[in-house]
Chains A and B, each alone.
Chain A
Amino acid sequence: EVKLLESGGGLVQPGGSMRLSCAASGFTFTDFYMNWIRQPAGKAPEWLGFIRNKANGYTTEYNPSVKGRFTISRDNTQNMLYLQMNTLRAEDTATYYCARWSKRGMDAWGQGASVTVSS
């Protein structure tokens, strides 16, 4: 069974940093692109970026809205995905999800990690 489990959310002050983690299991992690998506309460989800699979050199792409502030990485020995978020703003407050990308689009999601940016 494919499982994705985010961790690392919480309260952070404006201007601060936070790293989210996503533990993957049930599939060959290196075969898949992995995504981060966020969803502010009551709003549409927003794709943040992805990191490619082994065959495509683990390169990254980002939504321009977060490029330069957010960094996606992966530890393929531990089947872990990461989202490093810097210079956080109030508008970054959201639930953050990791999701696997397959030929079916985003076909598996984690339950999400809540991030609140507030003083």
Chain B
Amino acid sequence: DIQMTQSPSFLSASVGDRVTINCKASQNINRYLNWYQQKLGEAPKLLIYNANSLQTGIPSRFSGSGSGTDFTLTISSLQPEDVATYFCLQHNSWPPTFGAGTKLELK
């Protein structure tokens, strides 16, 4: 199975900050990497699919980049409603595997 190493595990930032979260795959996954946001008690929400495509309805402050083994989710200007856990998913190879998550809080 492909291992997804996500960092950092925990992140504290201020409103307006630029925030970056990383996922590293144990082998090449091309661009088959998704990013999800999960708020407490809610369903995970797809933010970015295929590394850099913004899901419909997601604010443009969210963006994704990378290919191969290294990927980044960027929030350009952190908003209070962005407090959540974020995780990545590779869907290049079966079984699909997830990063362990990044818990983002406001400073």
Contacts and interface: CB of A to CB of B under 8 A. Distances in A.
A108 B97 contact: no
B69 to A, nearest CB: 17
Interface in A74-119: 97, 99, 104-112
Interface residues of B, number: 25
The 9 tightest CB contacts between A and B, nearest first, are A104-B49, A44-B100, A105-B91, A45-B98, A109-B43, A105-B34, A111-B43, A109-B44, A47-B96
Q: How large is the interface on A (under 10, 10 to 19, 20 to 34, 35 or more residues)?
A: 10 to 19
Contacts of B59: none
Interface of B: 4, 32, 34, 36, 41-46, 49-50, 53, 55, 87, 89, 91, 94-101
B55 to A, nearest CB: 7
Contact of B100 (A43, A108, A109): A43
A44 B4 CA distance: 10
B95 A45 contact: no
B32 A45 contact: no
A61 interface: yes
A63 B96 CA distance: 9
Nearest to B97: A47
A46 B49 CA distance: 18
